[in-house]
C-alpha cells in the first residue's frame, strides 16, 4: 500500500437545476402567496388519488377547503395520515375527519406527539366562532356547504396562520 500526503478526492455531485423535490421556491417578501396547483411541491400524489377515489357527498367542499389550506402558506405540505388528507409544516396541524356525510370536518391539532400545549392549552382568536374545542390543544372546524366555506374563508385563513405560528 502506498502512502501519500494528498487528501482523498471527494466524489463529484451532479448539479441540480431548479429546486429539488422537497424544496419550495421562495416567494418575494410582502408578495401574496398564490394557491398551488395539483402536482406542485405542496401537493402529494397520494392525496390526489385519495380524493379522486373518494365517495363523499361533499367532495367539492372538501376540495375547496383543501385549496384554502394549501394557499395559506407555501410551506404547507399534504399527505395521507390517519386515513385522510392531513396538512403539515414542520409537524401535522390539520386533518380532515371524513366520517360524517352531511358536514365537512377539519381537526386542528398540534401533531401526533403530546406536547406541553396538551396541558397548557392553545389560545387562538376566533371572532367568527369557527372553533369547537375538543381538548386544550385540539379543535374542530365544521362546514356545511360551499357558500358557508366562502363566507368564512377569511376567518379560516386567519385561524390557520395563527395555528401554524404556534407549532
Encode pLDDT of 46-92 as tens digits.
999 999 999 999 999 999 999 999 999 999 999 999 899 999 998 99
Rounded percentage of the chain residues whose pLDDT exceeds 70:
69
Q: Considering only 22-26, 68-72, 82-86, 101-105, which range has the smallest mean pLDDT?
A: 22-26
Query: What average pLDDT does the segment 123-150 reach?
Result: 94
Q: Is 64 helix (H, G, I), strand (E, B) or coil?
A: helix
Which residues, in sequence order, are CB contacts of 63 under 8 Å at separation 6+? 51
Band the pLDDT of 29: cuts 50, 70, 90.
very low
Provide the CA 55 distance to its chain's centre, in angstroms: 22
Yes or no: say if 22 and 54 are a contact pair by the CB < 8 Å rule. no
Which residues, in sequence order, are CB contacts of 146 under 8 Å at separation 6+? 60, 61, 64
Amino acid at each position: 500500500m502506498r502512502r501519500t500526503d494528498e487528501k482523498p478526492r471527494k466524489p463529484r455531485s451532479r448539479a441540480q437545476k431548479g429546486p429539488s423535490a422537497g424544496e419550495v421556491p421562495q416567494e418575494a417578501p410582502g408578495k401574496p402567496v398564490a394557491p398551488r396547483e395539483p402536482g406542485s411541491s405542496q401537493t402529494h400524489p397520494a392525496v390526489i388519488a385519495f380524493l379522486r377515489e373518494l365517495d363523499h357527498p361533499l367532495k367539492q367542499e372538501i376540495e375547496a377547503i383543501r385549496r384554502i389550506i394549501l394557499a395559506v402558506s407555501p410551506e404547507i405540505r399534504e399527505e395521507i395520515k390517519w386515513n385522510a388528507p392531513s396538512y403539515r409544516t414542520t409537524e401535522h396541524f390539520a386533518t380532515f375527519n371524513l366520517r360524517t356525510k352531511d358536514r365537512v370536518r377539519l381537526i386542528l391539532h398540534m401533531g401526533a406527539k403530546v406536547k406541553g400545549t396538551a396541558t397548557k392549552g392553545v389560545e387562538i382568536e376566533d371572532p367568527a366562532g369557527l372553533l369547537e374545542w375538543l381538548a386544550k390543544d385540539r379543535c374542530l372546524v365544521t362546514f356545511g356547504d360551499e357558500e358557508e366555506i366562502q363566507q368564512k374563508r377569511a376567518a379560516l385563513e386567519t385561524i390557520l396562520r395563527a395555528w401554524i405560528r404556534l407549532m
